[in-house]
Amino acid sequence: MRDLGSFEGDWRIERRVANALGEDARLEGLARFCPLDTPSGGGALEVTETGTMQLAGQSFAAERRYLWRTVGARIAVDFDDGRFFHDFAPGEISPEARHDCAPDLYLVTYDFSRWPDWTAHWRVTGPRKDYGMQTRYTRA
């Protein structure tokens, strides 16, 4: 059964962003899921995504960090500053989650049907946001 430890290691990422309000974008890079001890004694994974983003004919370096940790049978995903982002059930084939950041709404569906390859499908809407984002993860 998939759990937090199943994600440990390096993953190649390919991200496509379809923006209804502007330019589409893509990113290719690496997601590194590294073990991290937490103050409560439980384990966690520090997730660092790095890559090259292509947007409007330009290329630039991009990086994002998260903290993944086990909470019961779920994985909680926090921003790198410790704020809660969302959580999901890793044992499900297509778990869904949401993050309300008024006035914006972030919905994600993970697809583990081809594990160990997997995909995160995001739909983001708000007054100035309207995009879909798909990230494919394959073992590096």
**124 has which bridge partners?**
106, 131
pLDDT tens column, 68-104: 999 999 999 999 999 999 999 999 999 999 999 999 9
**Residue in this structure with the two tokens 């993860």, named with its chain if needed:** 137
Window from 38-42, 60-64, 129-133 with minimum mean pLDDT: 38-42
* C-alpha to C-alpha distance for 111 and 126, rounded to whole angstroms: 24
In this prediction, residue 39 carries a pLDDT of: 63
Q: Where does the pLDDT of residue 42 fall: very low under 50, low under 70, confident under 90, or very high at 90 and above? A: low
In this prediction, residue 41 carries a pLDDT of: 54
